Amino acid sequence: MKEEAEKVRRGVIAAVVRHAREALPTECCGLLLGDEGGVGEAVRTRNATDDPSRFVIDPADHIARRREARDRGLSVRGFYHSHPRSAAVPSATDREEAAYPGHLYLIVGLASDPPDLGLYQFDAGNFHQVPFVTVD
Ligand SMILES: [Zn+2]
């Protein structure tokens, strides 16, 4: 696990919060693109479930967005999703369904205003909180 804070562009936070609000009452989801220097971009994907308490990144969107990122020289650093009525803490469902070790998981919790934001890394079956700073 990295010790230094992850750098996340301010625009990423704004885009994720906007998507989370538009997706209410369901969860939104998408990919976090960037490089070793940080997370520079959030791209939306459809949520393939209408269950309001989980998200499933639409597989076709996942493949297409991943390919576009690679073509632009960016990598998929991780994923984001929202919690419409709770805090930005990974749920039991999130833990059961997370499948990408080493990836970042950004959660936006809309239970509070301003929204709660939590960044985690998934490793060895668990989420570990990652400190982050927003950069321009
Ligand atoms: Zn969740």
Mean pLDDT of the chain, nearest integer: 94
Concatenated DSSP letters of 67-90: HHHHHTT-EEEEEEEEETTS-SS-
Lowest mean pLDDT among 1-5, 50-54, 70-74: 1-5
Sheet of 38-45: strand order equals 126-129, 116-123, 104-109, 75-83, 29-35, 38-45, 6-9, 132-135
Coil, helix or strand at residue 31: strand
Quote helix, strand, coil % in the chain, to nearest 5.
25, 40, 40
Whole-number pLDDT of residue 3: 63
Ligand 1 centroid, distance to 45 Cα (angstroms): 15
H or E stretch at 118: strand 116-123
Ligand 1 centroid, distance to 4 Cα (angstroms): 24
Spatial distance between the Cα atoms of 39 and 74, rounded to a whole number of angstroms:
10
Six token digits for residue 56: 């499933």
Ligand 1 centroid, distance to 100 Cα (angstroms): 15
Ligand 1 centroid, distance to 81 Cα (angstroms): 6
The percent of residues above 90 in pLDDT, for the chain, comes to: 91
Residue 1 has pLDDT above 70, yes or no: no
What are the chain's domains? Answer: 6-135 (3.40.140.10)
Whole-number pLDDT of residue 113: 92
Catalytic residue flag (residue 22): no
Whole-number pLDDT of residue 50: 83
Residue 80 has pLDDT above 80, yes or no: yes
Q: How many CA atoms lie within 13 A of 116 on its CB side?
A: 13
Residue 124 has pLDDT above 90, yes or no: no
Whole-number pLDDT of residue 88: 97
Coil, helix or strand at residue 29: strand
Residue 123 has pLDDT above 60, yes or no: yes
**Looking at 27, 41, 96, 97, which residue is catalytic?**
27
The percent of residues above 70 in pLDDT, for the chain, comes to: 98
| pLDDT 10s digits, 22-59 | 999 999 999 999 998 999 999 999 999 988 889 999 99
Name the β-bridge partners of 134. 8
